[in-house]
Amino acid sequence: MLPPASAGPREYPSDVAFTPAVKAIQERKGSRVGYGRMERSHGWQTAVTSELTEFLADLDMFYLGTANAQGQPYIQYRGGSPGFLKVLDEHTLGFADFGGNRQYITLGNLSENNKAFIFLMDYATQQRIKLWGTARVVENDPALLAKLRDPAYPGKVERAILFTLEAWDMNCQQHIHPRFSQRQIAPVIEQLQRRIAELEAEVEILKSKSPRNS
């Protein structure tokens, strides 16, 4: 694997995203003062917290970003059972990699550039979390796969991918359109169907008591 380009020491965790070029634009656009204040106060998180763990526990999808040695980015959707992106320790996340279309773009990118990005989106609650770090592919590790797989999920597990967390941040809710998964709306639909059946039964009772049916 080719070593990733060195970005030099970081003064703040957010420097993983706020490069000198980004900060220069923030300065021109008038947002640098506010972000500078954020950096000097609490800044971004660098380890898994209970808040992040709770967020991951119900999430059944995320987007994984990688880039090849030339810097060409690639975004891949990842889906599974709720909580399939698991916390292994305070700096490591892992997930079972299922068989797909066999293009292997993500695997190829990680073989020459281990920089990675995970975009977490909970459309129902209109929350998003961004994770910066590195990732590596783990093959032929039955113990790790047993820890990451969900026997109830039909996807074929081929390998594991481990993500080492460097920094993360929770974004505002602005411009996020709420959407709901089939799993989330199923109880509501079932409740409505039961209510419809109850009302239909009541209508039939009323019809049977109608003078026309006497």
Q: What is the pLDDT of residues 18-73, one digit of tens each?
A: 999 999 999 999 999 999 999 998 789 999 999 999 999 989 999 999 999 999 99
Q: Is the dihedral of CA 144, 146, 151, 156 positive or negative?
A: positive
Angle at which helix 20-29 crosses helix 32-40, to 10 degrees, equals 130
User: What are φ and ψ of residue 145, in 5° steps?
Assistant: -65, -35
Cα–Cα distances in angstroms (integers) from residue 153 to residues 131, 148, 180, in the given order: 25, 11, 20
Q: What is the CATH number of domain 45-170?
A: 2.30.110.10
For range 6-25, the mean pLDDT: 87
- The H or E element that residue 139 is part of is none
Q: pLDDT (tens digit, 9 = 90+) per residue, 80-135?
A: 889 999 999 999 999 999 877 889 999 999 999 999 999 999 877 778 999 999 99
- The H or E element that residue 170 is part of is strand 157-170
Lowest mean pLDDT among 76-80, 85-89, 186-190: 186-190
Contact 60, 80 (CB under 8 A): yes
- What confidence category does residue 2 fall into, taking pLDDT thresholds of 50, 70 and 90? very low
β-pairing, 115-122 vs 157-170, is: unpaired
- DSSP of 180-202, one letter per residue? --HHHHHHHHHHHHHHHHHHHHH
